[in-house]
Structure 1
Amino acid sequence: MKDIKAGLVGVTGYTGMEMARLLATHPSMRLVRATSRSQAGAVLGNLFPGLRATACADVQVSVPEADDLARNCDVVFLAVPHGAAMDFAAELLKAGVPVVDLSADFRLRDPQVYAQWYGQEHRHPELLSQAVYGLPEINAEAVAKAKLIANPGCYPTSVILGLYPALKNGLVHTSDIVADSKSGATGSGRKAAVGSLFCEVSDTFRAYNLGKHRHTPEIEQEVSLVAGEDMRISFNTHLLPINRGILSTIYTKLTQERTVEDIHALYTDFYADAPWVRVLPLGELPETRWVRGTMFCDIGLVVDPRTNRLLIVTAIDNLCRGASGQALANANLVCGLPLQSGLDFAALAP
């Protein structure tokens, strides 16, 4: 059995915490470096009591230093905000260490688009062409050969997986697609902010960043590649009063009349070899509780004959499938492990 040493830059955020949780039980990969400037010197089992008596419990948090990570790690996860990841990635890649970046720094292929949506220039545009977009159902072979993985965003994962078979098979028009997505409060990160306080989130439901969410160009980039043409999507986000989960309802227009049975059969066949995509039986629709803490993406399909629309509903866990779990799946491929290593578990329900 392999013993792969992993480093984690940014352990104190929700995605860093989730990554530590997943690595604590991984059969072939162990966490040897966990970094945080604010918590340097702390021991993970004390910092996060849920990790006590696990394989990660005694890992001491250190200040992030690329040289130290390169010397001691076989693969490094970057769970830091956009803008902070690109310099670490450049140094680690120069030292020959594979990188899985959970930020947005390498998702967009055009540095000008990155600057437009993220408000800063990309300091390492020469690396963008090396980055592989890490959606395993689509790019597993490329991921396995890559050194730099751009881990997809949580919202884009839910939307792209829902749309991919329909676009690939010309089922829907490429114009007038609306993706209506709702996320739990962990999607905004662990930083202190009034908008994510308990009393601001509980017992309410609100839209935010309509028409200007930063995941928009990422979604458009990837679905345009599938469709073979430049696409624009109306992507709209909302905040749910729950901790984890994303539910996306995608409204499309069919190119011709099709029965829901035909489309369901096509989706089922398309994802037949994808262990984490569950195309639900006809008449069932996804719920966030049935994917909580898992790698599953549940897909439900409805055809509205009155409007000739195909409605695609997806549910994922934003922290696991939408971030840390997907990053670990990509690292499995990069390190020559089976895709599902350390990632097969049922939902945390209730």
Structure 2
Amino acid sequence: MTYFARKFGFFLATLWAVVTLNFLIPRLQPGDPAEIMVKRMAGKDAALDQAQVEAMRAMLGTPTDSLWHQYISYLGELIHGNFGLSYTYYPFPVTEVIAQAFWWTVVLVTIAQVLSFVGGVVLGAYAAWRRNSRFDSVVTLGSTFLGTLQPFWIGLLLLYVFGYSLGWFPTSGGYEEATPGWNWPFIQEAVSHAFLPALALLIVTPIGWILGMRNTMIMNLGEDYIRLAKAKGLPDRDVALKYAARNALLPSVTGFALALGGVLGGAILVETVFDYPGMGRLMGEAVEQKDYPLLQALMLLTTVGVLLANLVADLLYGVLDPRARRAEG
């Protein structure tokens, strides 16, 4: 019980630190969002009118209190789920802007992560069991080569070949003319628009799972309990799946939980390449436009998601492997 209480205490302390940093970082960055918006409306070469800047600050509700009072007010608004108005999509609230992009990213990146994890773990386990074989060499060298590539570069290549050259898939957006909802025309358009971004992620994402699972399982195959299982005459299938692969999978559980927690941040470069209406594209726009309320909400959502996933992984690890609880004690 002490193990789980300690993990939960660490989670609360880290959460407070994340919330505090999320408040401080945007306020320490140079630049004035009001000036940026005035320049965008008046034109890049137009003279900056300070009266217009002050009016824009008043319209955006830019705080003028001390940093401490801003922090207290920030915590109060955070408890009520109020993140203010988005500068980029003014006058829409930040929560409404995020709500429109939330499910696009969750569906796209979650499916890609789950398929990558399952495929990578299976390939890595089989490569370890058949180590030094042709299959092991192909998987290891191939994954190492693909690991040097960037998802956005692969996305550009897929976009050029299958989008512009062949015209098999749409080149941007999440859907076209269908009415959003649980209807077949919309689902068909959403799948066709998400195929290339998901493929760009699926080509690169499994690499870590393949190499991690392979290396961990090879170390487990040299343990005494594996030799004992073989000496008992157990079938190779049982030794591989019930003994070696089961223990080698434990470290991947933590990594998979953290990967799922990072889903809320989206795939910024991939979503930007395909102009996909997800959280990653929103974060890129928020950084470019210095949209501090939107950037704060996205950063907080992403970090809290990672923290929650890490907490679940720690608790699950303690259940799956009792040695972790004994070592903590």
Higher relative contact order (CA 8 A, sep 6+): 2
Larger radius of gyration: 2
Tell whether the structures are fold-level matches, with TM greater than 0.5: no
TM-score (norm 1): 0.27
TM-score (norm 2): 0.28
